Structure formats: C-alpha cells, structure tokens
Amino acid sequence: MSESPSWACVCLPELALQVLVRAYPQLRQGPCAVIDEDRPQGRVLCVNQAARELRLLPGMTYAAGLSLAPDLRARVVPQQQLQQVVDGVCEVLHTLSPRVEPSQQEPGVFWLDVQGLQRVFPSLGVWIQSLHRQLRALELWPRVVVGWSRFGTYALARGGHAVGQILESQEHERQAYEDICLSRLGLTPSVRDALGKLGVRDVGALLSLPADGLRRRFGPEVLQLWRLGTGDWRPSLRAMAPQVPLCQQEILDNPVEHRSQVLFVIKRGLYGLLVRLASRHQALSSLGCKLQIEGGSLIEFEISPAQPTLDEHQVLELVRLKLESLSLKGAIEEVFIRVEPASAQREQLQLFKHRGKRDLSAAKEAIARLRAELGDDAVCRAHLTSGNLPEAQFTWVPTKQVSLPEPIPVDRRTLVRRISSRPLRLPPQSRHTRDEGLLVTGVEQGAVVRSWGPYIISGGWWVREVCREYQFTQVQSGRLLWLYYDRGRRRWYQQGRIC
C-alpha cells in the first residue's frame, strides 16, 4: 500500500459556464445557464449557483427554466471552444505532473499522477497553490483534490466545495465522498431522477445497494459508478502524451528573394503540420509566420481561414495574398511557421484521410511548366527496347502524361536490380591477389564474400566484339552488387546494385 497519495483530480466545475462567463462578464450576476440549442425546447446543460437556488437543474428545457427564473440568461457554448480550453489546461497541467488524463466523457475533469512530486515541490499543498495560480491566470476556477483513488478524488472534486483538499488516508477519503450528492456527479437527468424517487441521493446510499439489480434497473452508467465507488473496478491512469508544439523552422542555405520561393518554403513545412493536425483530429484555425531577412530585420504576419480547415490549397492561397501585400526589403534566410489548432469536423478528417499524396493533376501541371521552360525533351520516361547488353535494353522517350503505378500483388517480394546510366569502372586488381580475396570495389566496401555466376553475354562481332562475364557479388559491407568482367578491356565494372 502506498504511504502517500498517488491520485489528484482537477475539476473545472461547469466548465462550459466558466467559458461563457469569461466571454461575457456581465452574466456573473443573476441566474445563468448553458443550453445546447438557442430555442425554447433547448436543453439546459449546466447552471450557476443563483439558478440552482431557483430550482433550475440540468436537463430541463430552456422554456421550463424561464418559467422558474424569468430573468434567466442562457447561451450556447460551441464544442470547439470547449476543446480549445481543455487543450490549454492540459498544457498547463503537463508542467505540473508528468502524467495527465483528461476525461473523455466530462470536459473539465482531469486526473494527475502526483507520486514523487514531493521531491519537486516542498509539499503537495504548495503544488496545489501553484496549480491554482496558473489556472486562474487563464480565468478558470478549479477544485483540486489529492487522494488515494480515482473515484474518491473525482467525487470530492466534482461534488465538494473545497478549492484544494488533501486526504490523509483511504478511510478519510471514503468517509468524505459518501456524503456527496449524486446530482453533482454528472449523472444523466433521467437516472438522477429515478434514483431520487427511491431516496438514493448521495454516494453512500448508492454504494449500499446490491449490484445485481443496478444494471437492470438503471443501466451500465450507475453500475460503473457503483463499481468505482466500492473498489470493484480500479482503472489505471490513462495518461495523454503532451502535445508537441505545431511549428516548423527552416534555415535556408541560400537565401531567397522572390515571393514564390518563400511560398514554396512555407508549403514544404505546412503539409507535415496538417498531417499532425489530422492525427490529433484537429484542423488549422490560424497560421503564424516569421520571415528573417538578411541584416536582422523580421517580418511577422498571421492568416486565419474563414473556419478551421485542413485544406492546404486554401491556406496557401491566403499566404500568397498576404505575401503580395508585404514589402520584402531583402533576401529571406529563415522561415518559421506555427499553426493554432481547433477541433476538426468529421468530414474534414475524412477528406484529409482519403487524400492521396500523389496528385495527378498537379503532376501534369508541373510537367507542362518544365516542358515550357526547358523544352519538350526535359521530361522523359524509360522505354524498354530490344538489345543485347543491359544498357541497350531501354531508352528514354519524352512524355506528356503520367499515371499512377499499378503494382501486381505477389506472394513473395523479389529483389530489384538498379542499373546505372553508365557502367562504373572499378579499380584494377593486383595480380598477386587470389580470387577469394578480390577487392573489386576497393577497400571501402571490403573483399568479396560470395558471388553467383558467371553469366556470359557476348556479341557485337559485326561492329566490335563484346564479351562480359556477369555475376552477383556480395561484399563485406553487406551490399549486393551487379558486376561484370570485360574480357576485351580486362577490367571490372559495376553495372548496378541489388536492393
């Protein structure tokens, strides 16, 4: 058994309400609520203390709330805005604990691992003070409970009134959370009301019930709460990895002057950032860019699409328009970009997921530009021909179109011979070296370890006779080479390599 508490729960009570009041400070006075839809039949999600005193509870309709409190003021808080706040809180908490788990069901609830923090902070009380100070700087008001179990810290952080609490023992923790009202633990209104009709209004009364009928009468939600409270189920902390800042920096060896070159550098880093955003189920809400000019001056700008997006072309078009409005008074030697994330819609993620890395239309445009600038023969492809020697069995022909490869499925992958455009002449061999010690490729690759062959190709007697002895050679470095010995020149050549 651990000698010190190992769990901490940080709860931002009624997070949606805190976000709403932070945006509209005038709502601090009087009854206030967050609703899911701005219409009379919209459901109340959370209410402040003034509204609770007027008997307003989550789950009521907006119209029912207005009948109890005619001066009730309510707003809708977008899920995207909540997620941004949760992400910001996670960044703060990761500076105070190496392991942080945000609740997936209740935004604003976080579990932390506090084991060993006494070696970093003078005491857990000082740690709680530091946590409060950093979150209040974000205009958020947390409750923090340090204790011995996942459920105990959660129940007291959700339903208690202390802004900071350290539980001395497991028995103390259990006695404290048994008096917590069930309406404070995020139960759905229908389940909360059904338990209330039976007189089950606090955690202690719930835990005294037998488990057999809980699932049948109240569903898995109540059974899970019972198992957590009794200790029948003790899930471990599922820590979330800290988010790495989404930024990219590139120092240019050759500074660029033209706006099109700067745009290309930004494009190079943007795609990787969008991939990372999509893996987090997020989209780009804004892009900040810093351009370092030779001589020390710095240009900074920021662009924001109409809505969070993963569309690379849309973002680059905004960057292009911004660059055209700037005055670049020198060559750019360093580019730094940073993206601000936001929650992505499912459709955006699906579009990004199925988007291929090979864009045929973009490839055709690139080929057309190269042919226009460098000539029709600038872009070529290999074409197989009839020939005796390997280098004569293909030729290069101009191409205007490209197509995606169509690989043939095979049961076993085969080795591929990569042929050089011209055979590489190898160093001459000493007459005093035995065959098994040949250094055909020089000292760097080592001596021949094993070889297969020879496979003799001869011909060309009508022009100039050629006789080559091909073999596949493995050298000490581990590489597999495609070599031949030219009888006429009495010299070794490397035709290619095997990979």
Token pair in block for residue 261: 């070159």
CB atoms within 10 A of CB 370: 13
Q: Is the pTM of this model over 0.85?
A: no
In the chain, the domains with their CATH numbers are: 1-243 (3.30.70.270), 248-354 (3.30.1490.100), 417-498 (no CATH)
Peptide bond into 454 cis (omega under 30): yes
Q: CA-CA distance, 361 to 313, in Å (whole number)?
A: 13
Q: CA-CA distance, 65 to 156, in Å (whole number)?
A: 28
- Give ∠ CA 454-460-463 in degrees, rounded to 5: 150
Strand, coil or helix: what is 412?
Answer: coil
Strand, coil or helix: what is 470?
Answer: strand
pLDDT in tens, 105-119: 889 999 999 998 988
- How far CA 371 is from CA of 267, 293, 350, 381, 400, in Å, comes to 23, 33, 35, 14, 9
Most distant CA atoms of the chain, gap in Å: 108
Which is nearest to 142 in space by CA: 13, 273, 258, 332?
A: 13
Q: What is the per-residue pLDDT for 462?
A: 72
DSSP H/E element including 448: strand 448-459
Backbone angles phi, psi at 339, to 5 degrees: -110, 145
Long-range contacts of 252-255 (CB under 8 A, 24+ apart): 252/332, 252/333, 252/334, 252/335, 255/294, 255/331, 255/332, 255/333
CB atoms within 10 A of CB 308: 20
Tokens 């911004």 correspond to what residue? 322
Token pair in block for residue 298: 């710095």
CB atoms within 10 A of CB 477: 11
Token pair in block for residue 71: 């001066």
Cβ contact 387:405 at 8 Å: no
Tokens 């008096």 correspond to what residue? 179
- How far CA 305 is from CA of 194, 248, 285, 308, 318, in Å, comes to 47, 19, 7, 7, 8
Q: Which residues of the chain have pLDDT under 50?
A: 1, 434-436
Q: What is the per-residue pLDDT for 435?
A: 46
Q: What is the per-residue pLDDT for 54?
A: 92
Cβ contact 146:153 at 8 Å: yes
Strand, coil or helix: what is 242?
Answer: coil
CB atoms within 10 A of CB 151: 25
User: Judging by DSSP bridges, how do beta strands 109-113 and 247-256 pair with one another?
Assistant: unpaired
Q: What is the per-residue pLDDT for 361?
A: 77
User: Judging by DSSP bridges, how do beta strands 282-293 and 298-303 pair with one another?
Assistant: antiparallel
Strand, coil or helix: what is 70?
Answer: coil
Which residues face 44 on adjacent strands? 35
Token pair in block for residue 393: 């069995």
How far the first Cα of the chain sits from its last, in Å, is: 57
How does DSSP assign 354-395, residue by residue?
H--S--HHHHHHHHHHHHHHH-TTSSEEEEE---SSGGGSEE
The 3-state secondary structure of 32-43 reads EEEECCCCCCCE
Token pair in block for residue 487: 């009888």
What is the rounded (10 degree) CA torsion for 394, 395, 396, 398? -110
Q: What is the per-residue pLDDT for 12?
A: 94
Backbone angles phi, psi at 437, to 5 degrees: -115, 20
Q: What is the per-residue pLDDT for 185?
A: 84
Q: What is the per-residue pLDDT for 42?
A: 92
Q: What is the per-residue pLDDT for 270?
A: 93
